[in-house]
């Protein structure tokens, strides 16, 4: 042991931001405490594949401890962060009812975003989010459970409602979910039922804006809209969800008319806002939040007046960066590098510069859209890109091989490996 205690870095969140910040601190002369309320790193871009039964939960959610087992300077803590004290430099947490505080010298807040439900308690209660692993498992149970119920149902209208899925939001998550639901109904469930025809499943996307996956540019939006329509997804653009009830969604269409869709499953894939800890941090530090609840930071990702506190990833408000994994990866690593240099005595300010490596979304098997710099592609070329990128970024060799095998099962074949209902279901009565 050296005579000075090592510099203590606390990282809040084991998503992409926290993961890459931790990796960048490997072998640095610091002690890292990574705190999250879940025990795994979630590979969110493939969450919809867990929801639709292609992948198992472990394949996209390796245990954080296992990822960092060879980082002796790191400790993993399963706890919920309650508040940050920027003056006393402490993070207060609770875990299984016990309170514990963690002092820090540097802090990286990578707590991400949560569904906003546009502030409506009704929307929160009536729809199913797609953000955490348990969200995906609940949705899986809901999807396969709905087909089971439909098979038993004798009332034609109720049966139709069970086979109707409304997705609120036409971003990548909404589009990928819709694509998979149509794949399920057209191919994967073939010959599985005797009383219903899964091919008749109705999948509706309600998007408030005028384009699908707007962040990927006009050409990609155009390709996506075309592909979705061809697959039988009903896309409503410029459409607001005005009300959700028990088994129905009311849409306000662009022509001013309302449509009430009977649907047992309403997936929330729309508005997100910064995690609540961002608000608390802003209050305590005097930092400002943008209207999405993101903490506005300095060009080096630090909180104004608190150079030792960094906010990275989706919770970070900095310019007009897209809310994607790549932003979190790069900003997390950036904050860690600033800390590494400081510990070595190099205090020079270094601004964060985002490098746009492109963006991808899967449409169906063998079809995806991609935007890399000025180039937009779709179809099989897009899908091959999608395949290579997702395999590369999946954490851990065994998860890569496992995912490839499952994709062979589901895309070359037509099966879905994870269809077991285990009582996580929340079905309408």
Question: Which residues are tagged catalytic?
Answer: 176
Cβ atoms of 308 and 106 closer than 8 Å: yes
State yes or no: residue 422 binds its own copies (CB under 8 A). Answer: yes
CA quadruple 168, 219, 412, 149: dihedral, nearest 10: 20
State yes or no: residue 199 binds its own copies (CB under 8 A). Answer: no
State yes or no: residue 12 binds its own copies (CB under 8 A). Answer: no
Q: Which is nearer to its own copies, 177 or 264 (CB)?
A: 264
First and final CA of the chain: distance in angstroms? 63
Q: How far is it, in rounded angstroms, from Cα 212 to Cα 223?
A: 9
Q: Which helix (H) or strand (E) holds 337?
A: helix 325-343
> Hunting for tokens 């155009």 — which residue is that?
222
Q: Which is nearer to its own copies, 50 or 369 (CB)?
A: 50
Q: How far is it, in rounded angstroms, from Cα 246 to Cα 127?
A: 9
CB of 166 to its own copies, least distance (A): 21
The footprint of its own copies on residues 379-418 (CB under 8 A) is 398-399, 401-402, 405, 409, 413, 415-418
CB of 419 to its own copies, least distance (A): 4
CB of 76 to its own copies, least distance (A): 8
Q: How far is it, in rounded angstroms, from Cα 252 to Cα 306?
A: 45
Helix 218-230 vs helix 172-183: crossing angle, to nearest 10: 20
State yes or no: residue 97 binds its own copies (CB under 8 A). Answer: yes
State yes or no: residue 38 binds its own copies (CB under 8 A). Answer: yes
Of 422, 54, 124, 419, nearest in space to 266 by CA: 124
State yes or no: residue 40 binds its own copies (CB under 8 A). Answer: yes
Q: Which is nearer to its own copies, 53 or 169 (CB)?
A: 53
Contact stretch for its own copies (CB under 8 A) within 97-105, 115-123, 206-214, 358-366: 97-105
The tokens describing 123, both together, are 């929307």
The footprint of its own copies on residues 135-154 (CB under 8 A) is 137, 144, 148-149, 151-152
CA dist list (Å): 261 to 126, 165, 166, 279, 294: 14, 9, 8, 36, 33
State yes or no: residue 98 binds its own copies (CB under 8 A). Answer: yes
Q: Which is nearer to its own copies, 2 or 422 (CB)?
A: 422
Of 168, 171, 146, 150, nearest in space to 159 by CA: 150
Q: Which is nearer to its own copies, 46 or 168 (CB)?
A: 46
Q: Which is nearer to its own copies, 254 or 413 (CB)?
A: 413
Q: Which is nearer to its own copies, 133 or 321 (CB)?
A: 133
| Near its own copies by CB under 8 A: residue from 34, 133, 216, 324 | 133
Q: How far is it, in rounded angstroms, from Cα 409 to Cα 54?
A: 8
Contact stretch for its own copies (CB under 8 A) within 65-73, 105-113, 208-216, 380-388: 65-73
| Near its own copies by CB under 8 A: residue from 6, 58, 271, 379 | 58
Alpha carbon 216 to chain centroid, angstroms = 17
Number of residues that bind its own copies (CB under 8 A): 57
CB of 52 to its own copies, least distance (A): 12
| Near its own copies by CB under 8 A: residue from 99, 101, 134, 283 | 134
State yes or no: residue 357 binds its own copies (CB under 8 A). Answer: no
> Hunting for tokens 């129905």 — which residue is that?
248
Q: How far is it, in rounded angstroms, from Cα 29 to Cα 344?
A: 9
| Near its own copies by CB under 8 A: residue from 13, 53, 86, 174 | 53
Q: Which is nearer to its own copies, 62 or 293 (CB)?
A: 62
Rounded (to 5) percent helix, strand, coil in the chain: 35, 25, 35
State yes or no: residue 114 binds its own copies (CB under 8 A). Answer: no
Q: Which residues contact 62 (CB under 8 A, 6 or more apart)?
A: 40, 41, 395, 396, 399
State yes or no: residue 96 binds its own copies (CB under 8 A). Answer: yes
Q: How far is it, in rounded angstroms, from Cα 6 to Cα 374?
A: 45
| Near its own copies by CB under 8 A: residue from 29, 95, 283, 381 | 95
State yes or no: residue 3 binds its own copies (CB under 8 A). Answer: no
State yes or no: residue 214 binds its own copies (CB under 8 A). Answer: no
Of 15, 17, 111, nearest in space to 330 by CA: 17
Residue 220 in 3-state DSSP? helix
Give me the residues that bind its own copies (CB under 8 A), please.
Answer: 38-40, 53, 56-59, 61-63, 65-66, 69-70, 75-79, 95-98, 100, 133-134, 137, 144, 148-149, 151-152, 190-194, 398-399, 401-402, 405, 409, 413, 415-424, 427, 429
């Amino acid at each position: 042991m050296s005579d000075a205690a090592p510099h203590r870095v606390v990282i809040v969140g084991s998503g992409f931001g926290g993961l890459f910040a931790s990796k960048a601190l490997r072998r640095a002369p610091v002690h890292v405490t990574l705190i999250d309320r879940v025990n795994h790193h979630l590979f969110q871009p493939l969450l919809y594949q867990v929801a639709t039964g292609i992948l198992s939960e472990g394949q996209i959610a390796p245990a954080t401890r296992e990822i960092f087992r060879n980082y002796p300077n790191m400790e993993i803590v399963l706890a919920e962060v309650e508040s940050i004290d920027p003056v006393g430099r402490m993070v207060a947490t609770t875990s299984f009812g016990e309170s514990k505080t963690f002092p820090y010298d540097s802090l990286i807040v990578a707590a991400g975003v949560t569904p906003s439900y546009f502030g409506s308690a009704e929307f929160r209660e009536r729809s199913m989010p797609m953000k955490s692993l348990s969200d995906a498992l609940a949705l899986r149970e809901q999807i396969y459970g709905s087909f089971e119920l439909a098979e038993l149902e004798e009332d034609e209208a109720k049966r139709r409602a069970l086979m109707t899925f409304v997705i609120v939001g036409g971003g990548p998550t909404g589009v990928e979910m819709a694509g998979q639901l149509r794949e399920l109904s057209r191919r994967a469930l073939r010959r599985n039922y005797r009383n219903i025809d899964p091919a008749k499943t109705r999948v509706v996307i309600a998007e408030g804006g005028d384009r699908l996956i707007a962040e990927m540019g006009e050409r990609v939006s155009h390709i996506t809209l075309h592909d979705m329509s061809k697959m039988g997804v009903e896309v409503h653009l410029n459409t607001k969800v005005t009300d959700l009830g028990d088994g129905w969604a009311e849409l306000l269409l662009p022509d001013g008319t309302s449509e009430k869709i009977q649907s047992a499953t309403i997936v929330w894939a729309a508005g997100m806002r910064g995690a609540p800890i961002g608000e608390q941090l802003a209050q305590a530090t005097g930092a400002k939040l943008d209207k999405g609840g993101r903490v506005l930071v300095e060009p080096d990702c630090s909180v104004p007046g608190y150079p030792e506190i960094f906010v990275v990833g989706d919770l970070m408000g900095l310019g007009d960066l897209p809310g994607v994994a790549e932003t979190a990866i790069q900003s997390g690593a950036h904050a860690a590098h600033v800390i590494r240099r400081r510990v070595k005595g190099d205090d020079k300010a270094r601004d964060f510069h985002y490098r746009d490596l492109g963006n991808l979304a899967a449409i169906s098997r063998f079809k995806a859209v991609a935007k890399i710099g000025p180039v937009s592609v779709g179809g099989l070329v897009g899908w091959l890109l999608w395949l290579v990128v997702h395999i590369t970024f999946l954490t851990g060799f065994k998860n890569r091989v496992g995912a490839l095998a499952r994709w062979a099962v589901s895309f070359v074949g037509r099966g879905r490996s994870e269809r077991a209902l285990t009582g996580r279901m929340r079905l309408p009565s």
